[in-house]
Amino acid sequence: MTVRGPCSIGSVHYGNNVDFNAADQPFCCGEQFGRNCLSMSKKKLKVITERCVGCRICELACSMSHFNGAFNYRNGLIRVESNRDFGLNKSIKNIDRPHICIQCDPAPCIEICPVDAFDMNEQLHISIVDQENCIGCEQCINECPYDVMTLCRENEEAKALKCDLCGGEPRCVLYCPVGALVYE
């Protein structure tokens, strides 16, 4: 199966933004990653949808990493959508699909923020929430088209969170048992 969609420089590729051939080799902009593709000048978090089995270990690993070892699917900054519509004449392909922050450009979460609480992590080339400036208004969370931001209520103040790639070593990739998540 080949899925084609838009690709933009600086975005994180997933699902319909990446082409896959039968051998699960990722493609971008019609070119194999690493060959003539400007958006591959930096490492990106990618999903190989066909490999996902819906175990949700990625959600737990993310939660564990960001919430002091707490295992809670709702706290993960990655979401696994499950489509359990089985039956005769129904496709069973892609019944589970991880959703990750794709670093939208322009980013609705950044544009809606009333206090400019987003910074660019120059090392990882991603936008992150500045916890010092975030006022916890939840506007960015409501505006995220992929539902991959959450509100951290660990302290007395609530603060927005979005994927920070675990500082360059994404736990979701490390713990995915089937290789559906890659960071390269």
| Percent of the chain's residues with pLDDT above 90 | 41
What's the pLDDT band for 26 if we cut at 50, 70, 90?
Answer: very low
CB 134, CB 169: distance < 8 Å = no
Question: Helix/strand/coil (H, E, C) string of 17-39?
Answer: HCEECCCCCEEECCEECCCCCHH
The predicted pLDDT at position 67 comes to 83
Would you state the structure tokens that stand for residue 35, as one six-digit string?
Answer: 């060959």
Q: Which CATH number is correct for 15-183, 3.40.605.10, 3.30.70.20, 3.40.50.1980, 3.40.50.2000?
A: 3.30.70.20
How confident is the model over 138-156, as pLDDT tens digits?
A: 999 999 998 899 888 776 7
> Residue 144: what residue type?
C
Distances (CA, A) of 79 to 47, 72, 158, 162: 12, 12, 20, 12
